[in-house]
Structure formats: C-alpha cells, structure tokens
Chain A
Amino acid sequence: MMVLWIKLAIRNALRNLRRTMLPAATVMFGVALVVVALSWIEGIMGDMIESNAAASGHARILDTDYVAREQLQPLEEHIANVAPLLDRVRALPQVLDAQPVITTGVVITASDEIGDDFCVLQGGTRDWYEKHLEAPEKLVAGRWLSAEKGEVVLGRKIASQIHAGPGDEVLLLGRTYYGSMSDTKARIVGIVAGDAMLNLQAFLPLEEVQWITDIPGGAIQVLVWSRGTDARYVGPLVQALRGLDGMDGLVVQAWYDVEPWNMVVGMIGAIKAFMQFLIVFVAALAIFNTMTMSVLERTAEIGVMRAMGLTRMGALGLFLVEAICIGLLGGVAGAALGALPAWYLAVHGVTLGEELADTVGASLPMKATFYASLTPGILLGAVVLGAAIAVLGAILPALRAASIQPVVAMRVRR
C-alpha cells in the first residue's frame, strides 16, 4: 500500500509541476527562516548554557535560607561541614562530580590606601578551577594558582580597574560569616579573561576563602555535575539529590531553576513557539489551498479508484502522502536555503561590543560576539517541520477526498 501511495503521490505531484512548486516554495521560505532563527537562538543559548554549566554545575545544593536572601549573600547561612555531604553526593551513580564553593564580595586594593573597588571573590577547589571552570586555559598573563599560599588570580577587568598585574600584591577585605571585617594579602600570579562574569572575579583556593569568611571545612554551595552531556536534562539528577539523607534545611536547584535562567529559558521558549506557530500556520494555508484544488480536480478519478476497491483510508493516505512529498521537498530546500546564512552566522558571528557584555554580563555569562550553532538536529527538525506543515494543511482536503462517494464522483463529467 505504502509503495503504491508514494508512487501515485509522486506522479500526482509531478502532474502539475507549477502547482506543486508554489506551495513547496512557501514551505521552503518558512523552513529556511526556522533554520536560521533556531540555529541563532541555539547558538546564543547553547553557548551561555554551556559556560554556565561549566562554571556553576548542572545543579547546586545550598541552604534554604541562603536562597531566600541570595541577593544579600548571607554568609551565616552556609553549609558548616561539607565533607560528608560531598561524599554522599559523589556516591550517587548520576553524579559526575561535586565541588564545594564559597562566593563572597570583597574590597580589593593594590595600593596602600584602601579604595572603593569591589569584586566577587571565588573560593574553589583546584578541581573546580581546572576541570570545570577551565580557568587556567583562560590565562592571558602569568600562571594559575600553585599549591603555595598567598596567591590570587584576577579577572582582566578587575585587574585593570585597580591597575595591578602579575607580581603585585593586593589586599582583599571581606567579612566573616558573623559580620566582622576580615582581610588577607595575596600576590597576583595570573590574569584571566573570558566571559564578562569571569572578568569581574578574583580566584583564591577554597581554604583561604574559608579562612576569610571563618567557615573552616564549610561552603556556601555544592555544585554538582551530571553524567551525560546534555545540560538540559538534569531532572533525574535533581531527584536523586533530593532523595539523599541529611538534606534537612538544604535545597537542590537545577541550573534552570536559578535566576536569571528560570526567566530566560521560559522567554526563549515562548519566542520559539510564537515564531514556529506563525510559520506553520501561514505555510499550512498554502498547502491547504493546493490540496483542496487537487482533490476537486481529481474527484472523478478518486471515484473510479474507490469503485475499484480503494478504501477510504487509502484515499486519505493518497492525498496525505502527496502533501508530505511537497512538504518534504520544501523542507529539504528550505533547510538548504536556511543553512547558508545560519552557517555564515555560525562562522563569523555578530559582535555586539564588550561594553554591553559587561553591562549585562554581570549575571549572564555573555560574550561580546554571538555565534549561531547549526546542528544536524536543527536541519532534521526543519525538514520534519516541513512535513508536519504539509500534513496539517492537507488533512482537511484529504478527509474530503476520503468522503467521496464513488457513485456520485463518477457522475461528475470529466
């Protein structure tokens, strides 16, 4: 049956080439736009999600009260003894790695006078810096932290703000978790440059930040990385973490539950849905038009075939397959047409300027240049979208064809 359908469908599609090409062109334009737009969104989002996951993990565990007032960075709401929790988390089969982190704001000074320059101080383990943040690879001057005490690495922006470079000594003035002032001196050994967030931070070994904040053996949060490559599906990981013992007073958040991602992800989803809906709707109209015409024109033919034993389903399938052929044709052409600009954007990108990245980048790891990402998945999805448009547009005319009565149809003069 299938083979017959396809054979007939192709013959019918070729019977009136003009009529086939026009709706195919409609589908093509729509699909091309979807390809460009999706690869653009995918590129920007994918990039940000990736840098975010690398830096902040797929999920995080932290104190419930800390989350409630995260804006204030209430250091008193920390995880006091993090080692047992780390052991339990790392023992889970879904977990690739887990690392403790303390993040706190400090005043940073390179000269004798304590000034007004603030930066975000990260206290992390060597593994976090090297494997996940990949900070040592982002060095633009000097080297990464060694095992020695009293060394600090600065983001490029913050280093230029305090006019300091490798070899200079800086004073970091922070607070303990109970609010006393607390300071440490360190020598700058390296400068890193990356996304805007990284550029505004300073990096110390976890132990030294534990000392500044007076949280020995503790952490503000535990970042968790899931096994598996796609950062978008971390539901099982989060479930498993929530099921652990000793999680009283702690909360587990997937990366997309954390602000501003919770908002960004929803917004991007809405934009995608709106655009696809619009395209599908308008392109389906063209298919509908053609197929309606096709059915009317071939009423008599269908009547004969029905009389010869073609079932209703058969008649329905005949037109659906024809529409799918048109849809696939348009889909493939559209994917090819859209791939060109998408590929260009993927290679050359669009540069927005560092200033903007700095402004917005304080909370999103945004880079100055945006690249699209053209994946086989997007191209395949676009072709399928073309077929889906065709089915949607053809379903009503095909149903009409299926409802043709042989006797009535054959009475129509040819």
Chain B
Amino acid sequence: MFYIELAARNVFRRWGRNGLSMVSIVAGVFVLILGRGFVDGMRENIVRAQIDTASGHIVARPADYPTFGLQAPVDRLLRLDDGTRRWLDQHASAWTTRLVFVPRAIHGNESMRVRAFGFDPATDESVFPRSQWEVDGSIPGGSQDGVLVSRGVARALQLVRGDMLILEARTHAGALNAMSVPVSGILTARNPLIDNVGIFVPKPLVQELVRPGDSFSHLAVKLRDRDDAPDLASGLAQAMGPQAEIRTWIQESASLMGIMDIRQTAMDMLAMVLMAIAATGIANTVLMAAYERVREIGTLRAMGMTRAGVVGLFVTEGVFTGFLGALLGGLLGGWTTWSYSRNGIDLAALIQQAGDTGTYDSIPFSTILYMDFREPFILGAMVFGLLVAVLASIYPAVVASRLAPADAVRAE
C-alpha cells in the first residue's frame, strides 16, 4: 500500500512525462484490440456471406466447374438421385438447388453479361436468407413474374421496375435462346457478388430459357451445425458420385481467409512494435525518474529501505503508468470495437467504386462490416499492456537500486 501511495504520488509529480509514456501503451493496446476486432469481424463477415449468399454449409457443383470470372457453363449439370435425397433427408436442415448461368441482358441498345441465379421460389430462402435484401418491387415466383435485377445491372442498363429486359442465353443442349421478360423489382443485397452483375430468375422461367429439365448447377445444403460440414461432406460426395465436386464453406472461403491471416499478422506486428516502443518509452521514463530522484533514493536507502524496496518502488511506478495506459487503451479500443460491432461500418461506397470493374464480383461478402467484440480478448490485451510496463520498468528500477546511499545523497 505504501508503495502504491508513493508511486502514485511520484507519477503525478511528473505528470506530463508519465502521461506521454502512457500514451504509447494506450496506442499499443488500442491497435491490438482494434486490429483483432477488425480482422475477426472481416472473417466472420466473409464466412457468413459465403454461407448465406453463395454456398450454404456444403455445396455440390459439377466437377471441373470454373470458379473464376463470369463463367457458368450449363452443358454439364447435376441431378438428384435417390441416394442423395436420402442423405439430404437425413442430414440437411434445409437445402435448395440453383441453376447459375450467364445470359446476355439486353435493354435498348445496351447489353451486358450478367450472372443469373436460377432459384427455386419454394426453398431458396430457407438456405439463402434475405434479411439484408432491400427490394424495390416484388420477388418473382412464377414464369410470368419476370426477373429480379440487382442494383448494378439496373444502373448499367438503366432499368426501372416494369421495364422489359431481353435475356439471351444458351440452353442446356447448346442452342441459342432469348426471352423478353419484365423486371419485377430492383434488388440491393449489400453483397457485391449479387449487387454488381447479378439477377434472380425463378425456376419456371429458367426452365423456359435454359431448358435444364430437372438438373441444376448448385446444390446448397444447410446443416444443423455448420461445424459438422467437414465430417458430413464425404457422405454427400459418396451419394452424388464423381459427377459432383463437394465443397464445404470452410474450403470455399479458405483463400480469402489467407488474406485475413496476412492482415492479422500485419496488425499484430504493428501492435507488437508499438508495444516495444512503449516498453522502451516506459523504461526511459522510469530511468529518468530514477536519475532525477537520486538524492531521494539515497535518503530512503539511508533510512533503511532495502534494495528490493527501491526496485519495488520504481516498478510500482512503471506499473502505475502501464495500468493507466492499458486501462485507457482498453476502454478506447473496447468502446470503438463495441460500437462498430453494433452499428457496423458501411463499406458500400468503397465497394461500389471497385464494383464497376468487377474486382469484387466473385467475392461474396456483406458491405456492412461488423467488428468482432469479445471481452476476454480486450481484457487480455490490457493485461498484456500492463505486463509490458512491468517488464520494462524492472531494468531501470534495478539501476536505481544500485545507486549507493552515500553517493546518492552526495549527488546534489
């Protein structure tokens, strides 16, 4: 108690200097928390978007299916057989099939290739939730209802609800087919995979345009627990045979997770260097304090304080600074991540710009980023900051304790 009192008094004696070295601890803890919150939030964002808009927990697609650019051939498709149905009845909590194709969308003189999601109006929503969707108009269901057009396509082709759109596509058999269909609504999904070049075509209409029969390009399965996906995937692979390639959400998002790992490393590194800077800063401050109070130390020693006592005194001083810094950094970082974990950061403007060139067309993620807020980690970061302060003040404290009492008193 005596130490703490003395240390607190000493810290406030030179408040400016201690405040300054505290700032570096604040910065270190803050960046550590913010970096984790951001990267983990991004991870969860990608995983969610992957599951909720692209693949479900397990996806089956034709073997050899291209996964780059705007490519979605309809010549090799999948079918459901009894074995697969049995597997689905047994393991899936929900499933749906989609036929993805790439028609040319024509409106007036303008045309562009779009990614068409042929969806099953009855089951699609059970696998791919629409909670983020904003639809100006209605979601089509029958063959007469037309198509739902994403914001990006609507902007490029200058479409409004009710316009007629010509879709020109290859049929499953390879013939060229075209249809004029009404635009039932404009969709903002907050996901560049859909928003930039996507359109949604109900199954009955797909049947007329692409004539796939009962075949499809994607089977998306939701499980009761997403962590079961790796274990259950092999069962589905067995049921569907070599015609299909089975991928779990983990495999599908692995490459993007690679980028996240690099980001994580970069952020951690920045935080570590800030901590190292903070450590030297604190060591420096405590050392300064020791030199400044040589006489005082001498008096204390002469009055019977042991060396360990002097070490304790100065370490407590460093700890005090570190504690305040860690607390402030933790509060600041915790508050920032907490508020962004509730409100989210809207990346839409950023993505919008890149979207025009197709940078993100193939990457599913939500344009609203929610940071990851976890108390244990924030606490951990604060403890780490404190630990750095303790370790950093040991060396100068030992230096202080070595000052001989007589020399110290004579120092004036």
Would you call B75 and A116 a contact (CB within 8 A)?
yes
Contact residues of B between 354 and 383, Cβ < 8 Å to A: 354, 356-359, 361-363
**Do B280 and A26 touch (CB < 8 A)?**
yes
A285 touches B281 (CB 8 A): yes
Q: Considering the complex, give the chain B residue whose CB is closest to the CB of A359.
A: B362
**Which of chain B's residues have a CB closer than 8 A to the CB of A286?**
21, 24, 277, 280-281, 284
Within the complex, the shortest CB–CB distance from B273 to chain A, in Å, comes to 4
- Inter-chain CB contacts under 8 Å: number: 173
The B-contacting residues of A in range 276-294, CB under 8 angstroms, are 278-279, 281-283, 285-286, 288-290, 292-293
Decide yes or no whether A259 CB sits under 8 A from chain B.
yes
Which of B24, B101, B157, B269 is the one whose CB lies under 8 Å from A33? B269
Interface of B is mostly: helix
A25 at the interface (CB under 8 A from B): yes
Q: How far is the CA of A69 from the CA of B285 in the complex (A)?
A: 60
We find that the number of chain B residues with CB closer than 8 angstroms to chain A is 64
Q: Does B156 contact A (CB under 8 A)?
A: yes
In the bound complex, do residue A23 and residue B284 qualify as a contact, i.e. CB atoms below 8 Å apart?
Answer: yes
B350 lies within 8 A of A283 (CB): no
Q: Is A230's CB within 8 Å of the partner chain B? A: no
Chain B residue at minimal CB-CB distance from A28: B280
Partner pick for B69 among A32, A36, A71, A200, CB 8 A cutoff: A200
B293 part of interface (Cβ distance < 8 Å): no
Q: A117 and B71: CB pair below 8 A?
A: yes
On whether the beta carbons of A115 and B359 are closer than 8 Å, the reply is: no
- A29/B277 in contact, CB under 8 A: yes
For B74, list chain A residues within 8 Å (CB).
Answer: 116
Q: Is the CB of B266 within 8 A of A74?
A: no
With a CB–CB cut-off of 8 A, which chain B residues contact A273? Answer: none
Is A55 an interface residue when CB atoms closer than 8 A count as contact?
no
Complex: how many Å from CA A413 to CA B411?
11
Bound-state Cα–Cα, A25 to B176, Å: 70
Count of A residues near B, CB < 8 Å?
Answer: 62
* Nearest residue, chain A, Cβ from B153: A71
**Which residues of chain A from 356 to 414 have any CB-CB distance to chain B below 8 Å in the complex?**
356, 358-364, 413
- Contact at B68–A200, with CB atoms within 8 Å? yes
Question: In the bound complex, what is the Cα–Cα distance between A182 and B386 (angstroms)?
Answer: 71
A161 contacts chain B at the CB level, 8 A cutoff: yes
- CB closest residue in chain A, given B258: A352
**Residues of chain A from 243 to 296 with CB closer than 8 A to chain B in the complex:** 259-260, 262-263, 275, 278-279, 281-283, 285-286, 288-290, 292-293, 296
Per-position binary interface string of chain A over residues 100-128, scored 1 when its CB falls under 8 Å from any chain B CB and 0 otherwise: 00000100000001111110000000000
Query: Could you say which of B109-117, B132-140, B199-207, B223-231 contacts chain A?
Result: B109-117
**Counting CB contacts under 8 A, is B160 at the interface?**
no
Q: What residues of A have a CB within 8 angstroms of the CB of B101 in the complex?
A: 116
Q: Using Cβ atoms and an 8 Å threshold, which residues of chain A touch B73? A: 115-117
Tell me if A92 is interfacial: C-beta within 8 Å of chain B.
Answer: no
Find the B residue at minimum CB distance from A284.
Answer: B20
**Those of B244-287 within 8 Å (CB) of chain A:** 254-256, 258-259, 262, 266, 269-270, 273-274, 276-278, 280-281, 283-285, 287
Among A279, A283, A289, chain B packs the most CB atoms within 10 A around the CB of: A289
User: Across the interface, which residues of B come within 8 angstroms of A87, CB to CB?
Assistant: none
Q: How far is the CA of A71 from the CA of B176 in the complex (A)?
A: 24
Residues of chain B within 8 A (CB-CB) of A23 are 280, 284
Pairwise interchain contact B350-A116, C-beta atoms closer than 8 A: no
Q: Which residues of A lie under 8 Å from residue B113 when comparing CB positions?
A: 105, 118
Taken together as a complex, chains A and B put the C-alpha atoms of A179 and B108 apart, in Å, by 12
Main SS class of interface, A: helix
Question: Which of B102, B288, B358 is close to A116, meaning CB atoms less than 8 Å apart?
Answer: B102
Chain B 342-359 against A: per-residue CB contact (8 Å), 1 yes, 0 no? 000000001001101111
B399 contacts the other chain (Cβ, under 8 Å)? yes
The answer to whether A118 touches B362, judged by C-beta atoms less than 8 angstroms apart, is no
Is B70's CB within 8 Å of the partner chain A?
Answer: yes
Q: Determine whether the beta carbon of B67 is less than 8 Å from that of A118.
A: no
B147 within 8 A of A: no
Residues of A within 8 A of B66 (CB): 161
Q: Enumerate chain A interface residues (CB-CB to B < 8 A).
A: 16, 18-19, 22-23, 25-26, 29-30, 32-33, 36-37, 69-72, 74, 105, 113-118, 157, 161, 179, 196, 200, 259-260, 262-263, 275, 278-279, 281-283, 285-286, 288-290, 292-293, 296-297, 350, 352-353, 355-356, 358-364, 413
Q: 16 A-B pairs, CB-CB below 8 angstroms?
A: A23-B280, A36-B269, A37-B270, A72-B110, A117-B71, A259-B354, A260-B357, A282-B277, A285-B23, A289-B281, A289-B288, A293-B292, A356-B255, A356-B256, A359-B363, A364-B359
Other A-B contacts than A71-B112, A157-B68, A297-B291, 15 sampled, CB-CB below 8 A, are A23-B280, A26-B280, A30-B273, A32-B273, A33-B269, A37-B270, A70-B357, A200-B69, A278-B274, A282-B274, A286-B280, A289-B284, A290-B288, A296-B292, A355-B67
Residues of B whose CB lies within 8 Å of any CB of A are: 17, 20-21, 23-24, 27, 31, 66-75, 101-102, 109-113, 156-157, 170, 174, 176, 254-256, 258-259, 262, 266, 269-270, 273-274, 276-278, 280-281, 283-285, 287-288, 291-292, 350, 353-354, 356-359, 361-363, 399, 412
Please provide the 3 A-B residue pairs with the shortest distance between their CB atoms, ordered closest to farther.
A356-B255, A33-B273, A358-B68
